[in-house]
């Protein structure tokens, strides 16, 4: 298989974000509890200046990578898990169960997500775990649909028939025979859900619905907006986290797009 060079740039970017997220201590000059003079301009001591609490913005930026990526990937994983299970079951069993599961999928699709997450986060308290849980459980519907249509496509193929004739259990057929075929469709969807979760997280944090104990890029922008970072013209406060969100989402999405194009090319052969 030929390696696609278009993967390199977004791949490297994501790798960089991941390394920074896992080992923030190696890159950040200060810890997030260190405080100095407030509202400093960028300089030799503080690469991006300091915020309203006197914290080093560059260090915050680095520590924030962890929660933003964590929330994105964890809710992406949860969505993949639920969506694949629903799609497999609905596509394999058909009938009333299919009708019920797809009805549920439609309903989840209609629910306005961001207002729903806002009201849930307001009641349940702004913990990152609540966010992961809610975002994950609200974004599986597109995965379920794709998986279902793929399963319906292959369930009548001969090798599945052979497996059934050999007397393999439904469970085994689903996991050993169908799942590997469905997998390539799931990957780009996982990536897109992750990107969408990162965007949602950034939006919620902007509203102030993020745990004050955890730093995230959206939370930094929110702080800059509420604590007069804008009126002071401190672009070095809100622009770097904004760029990080945009670059992260862009890198992740472009992976999905390249992959999907690859799939399409293979299908046409």
Partner 1 sequence: MNKVLARKLVRYAVCLLIVVLLVFLLPRCMPGDPVQCLVGEDVYLTQEILDSVTAKLGLDRPLFEQFQIYIGDLFTGDLGYSYTRHQNVADLIWDRLPWTLLLTGMSMLIGYAFGIIAGTWSGWMTEKKRAKIMTGFGVFVSCIPPYLLGLIFFSVFVYQLGWFPYKGFYETPDFFSVVYHMALPVLTLALFVFARNMIIMRGSVLTEKNQLYPQFAKSLGIPRRKIIYGHVMKNAILPILTHFAIDFGFILSGALFIEIIFSLNGLGRVMYTAVLNLDYPVLSGLFLVIALMAICANLIADILYGIIDPRVKRGDDQ
Does position 3 bind partner 1 by CB under 8 A? Answer: no
Burial group, residue 107, by CB count within 10 angstroms (0-12, 13-18, 19+)? exposed
Does position 118 bind partner 1 by CB under 8 A? Answer: yes
- The interface with partner 1 within residues 178-197 (CB under 8 A) comprises 195
Judged by beta carbon, residue 80 or residue 134, the one nearer partner 1 is 134
**DSSP states of 187-211:** HHHHHHHHHHHHHHHHHHHHTT-S-
Give the angle 88-92-94 at the CA atoms, nearest 5°: 115
Count CB-CB contacts under 10 A for residue 106.
11
> What distance in Å separates the CA atoms of residue 47 and residue 56, rounded to the nearest whole number?
8
Is the separation of the CB atoms in 46 and 160 below 8 Å? no
Q: Per-residue string for binding with partner 1, 22-61, x by CB under 8 A?
A: ----------------------------------------
Does position 254 bind partner 1 by CB under 8 A? Answer: yes
Find the part of the chain contacting partner 1 (CB under 8 A) among 19-27, 50-58, 167-175, 203-211: 203-211
Residues 6+ apart with CB under 8 A from 152: 91, 94
Name residue, tokens 């169908």: 178
Does position 246 bind partner 1 by CB under 8 A? Answer: yes
Find the part of the chain contacting partner 1 (CB under 8 A) among 43-51, 85-93, 151-159, 237-245: 237-245
> What distance in Å separates the CA atoms of residue 129 and residue 263, rounded to the nearest whole number?
34
Interface residue with partner 1 among 1, 3, 26, 112 (CB under 8 A) is 112
Judged by beta carbon, residue 77 or residue 260, the one nearer partner 1 is 260
Q: Which residues bind partner 1 (CB under 8 A)?
A: 103, 106-107, 109-116, 118-120, 122-123, 195, 199, 202-203, 206-209, 221, 225, 230, 233, 235, 238, 242, 245-246, 249-250, 253-254, 257
């Amino acid at each position: 298989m030929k390696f696609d060079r278009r993967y390199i740039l977004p791949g490297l970017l994501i790798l960089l974000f991941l390394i920074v997220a896992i080992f923030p201590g190696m890159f950040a000059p200060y810890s997030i509890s260190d405080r100095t003079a407030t509202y400093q301009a960028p300089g030799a001591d503080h690469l991006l200046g300091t915020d309203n609490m006197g914290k080093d913005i560059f260090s915050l930026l680095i520590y924030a990578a962890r929660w933003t990526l964590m929330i994105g990937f964890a809710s992406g994983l949860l969505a993949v898990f639920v969506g694949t299970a629903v799609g497999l079951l609905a596509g394999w069993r058909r009938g009333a169960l299919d009708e019920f599961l797809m009805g549920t999928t439609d309903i989840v699709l209609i629910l306005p997500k961001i207002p729903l997450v806002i009201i849930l986060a307001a009641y349940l308290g702004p913990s990152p775990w609540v966010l992961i849980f809610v975002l994950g459980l609200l974004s599986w519907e597109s995965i379920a649909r794709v998986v279902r249509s793929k399963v319906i496509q292959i369930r009548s193929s001969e090798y599945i028939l052979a497996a059934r004739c050999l007397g393999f259990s439904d469970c085994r057929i689903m996991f050993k025979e169908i799942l590997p075929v469905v997998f390539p469709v799931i990957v780009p969807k996982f990536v897109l859900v992750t990107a969408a979760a990162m965007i949602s997280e950034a939006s919620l944090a902007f509203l102030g619905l993020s745990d004050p104990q955890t730093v995230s890029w959206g939370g930094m922008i929110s702080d800059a907006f509420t604590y007069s970072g804008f009126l002071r013209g401190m672009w070095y406060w809100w622009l770097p986290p904004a760029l990080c969100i945009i670059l992260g989402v862009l890198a992740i999405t472009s992976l999905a797009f390249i992959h999907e194009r690859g799939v399409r090319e293979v299908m046409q052969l």
